[in-house]
Amino acid sequence: MLINCVAYQDGRRLGDITVEDISEYVSRPDCFVWVALKDPAPGELAMLQDEFDLHHLSVEDVLSGHQRPKLEEYGDSLFAVLHNLELVEGELRVSEIDLFVGPNFILSVRKGTEQGFTAVRARTEREPELLRLGAGFVFYALVDAVVDRYFPVVDALETHLEELEGKIFGGSTPRANLEALYGLKQKLMVLKHAVDPLIEAVGKLHGGRVPQVCQGTQEYFRDVYDHLLRLSQNVDSLRDMVTTAMTVNLAMISHGESEVTKRLAAYGALVAVPTMLAGIYGMNFEHIPELKWTFGYPLAIAVMVAIDAYLFVRFRKARWL
């Protein structure tokens, strides 16, 4: 689906154009075309491949999908893949953003998400001085918007971790806590897979040999690079905290099992004493001391109660009961 096809010249919006008119505008000096697609059909992408002379390998990546975040250079154009992340009802949804950037065009393709870039387009059009930098600045704005969407996800996962930490010591079911912590660790891994490859990719856009299309925007990409480093550090810290929380939860499970074992052992000792005495005097031997003694029965009961009372007090002091 074609969302937008807009021409810009000298930092100003000229207006919406048709796909058939793209070649006319990209041939003008200081002019570039910004095309936005959503879940495009192969035919739509093929048409734009001819208009912008896109490399067939990059087009194949878009059509096949499920690419890792990356940045590839084809001649004087760039092809970038980013992962768009959304938290919907506690579930982390991953979608793909593909960007083609050339000296006089930028093509954005989003797949599997309703989150568009209307705000990015409005932002760039409010800054004509920066928009004069051409497609490279729009490329920065799109990458920056995707990276900025990661911060609320990290904040939400951090809040969720704090809630789980409270449940660990709040009497919640240890198994449920462990499952929730493992699910949180999986989400952090997905986030890390989206962030870390971009660090290397964006690093190429502000230092060393910067592609021609990004000349003049190095300081902006350096800012995105700093954001990615901060995100990566936050994700690593959260993963370490989740690992620690899982260890504490397992320790709490072991501690609970130990407490149960101690209680069972204590109750077993309380039962064993009267069982032992009753067993001795229940043996079928003719000559047993005190067998015919009148006070034997109440004395045996008293001894059982006294020993059990003594053991009970000692177990309570030791916090076994």
- Say how far apart CA 92 and CA 157 lie, in whole Å: 10
Q: Do 257-317 and 1-128 fall under one CATH topology?
A: no
Q: What are the boundaries of each domain within the chain? A: 1-128, 257-317
What pLDDT is recorded for position 231?
94
The per-residue pLDDT for range 230-254, each reduced to its tens digit, is: 999 999 999 999 998 888 888 777 7
Given a cut of 80, whether residue 215 has pLDDT beyond it is yes
Give the three-state DSSP class for 93: strand
Domain 1-128 homologous superfamily, CATH = CorA soluble domain-like (3.30.460.20)
- Give me 245's structure tokens: 């929380």
* Structure-token match 């570039």, residue found: 32
- Give me 72's structure tokens: 């590839």
Full DSSP string of 133-163 = TTHHHHHHHHHHHHHHTHHHHHHHHHHHHHH
Out of 3.40.50.300, 1.10.3720.10, 3.50.50.60, 1.20.58.340, the CATH code matching 257-317 is 1.20.58.340
Q: How many CA atoms, within 13 angstroms, populate the side-chain half-sphere of residue 16?
A: 5
Cβ atoms of 75 and 94 closer than 8 Å: no
> What Å distances lie between residue 314 and 157, 182, 269, 300, 319, CA to CA?
47, 41, 12, 21, 9
What pLDDT is recorded for position 306?
86
What pLDDT is recorded for position 138?
93
Q: How confident is the model at residue 89 (pLDDT cuts 50, 70, 90)?
A: confident
- Give the predicted TM-score (pTM) of the model: 0.79
Number of DSSP helices (H) and strands (E) in the chain, helices first: 10, 7
| End-to-end CA separation in angstroms for the chain | 70
86-90, 106-110, 245-249, 297-301: least confident range: 297-301
The per-residue pLDDT for range 251-301, each reduced to its tens digit, is: 777 766 676 777 777 778 778 878 877 777 666 656 666 666 767 777 778
Given a cut of 90, whether residue 23 has pLDDT beyond it is no
Q: Bridge-partner residues for 250, per DSSP?
A: none
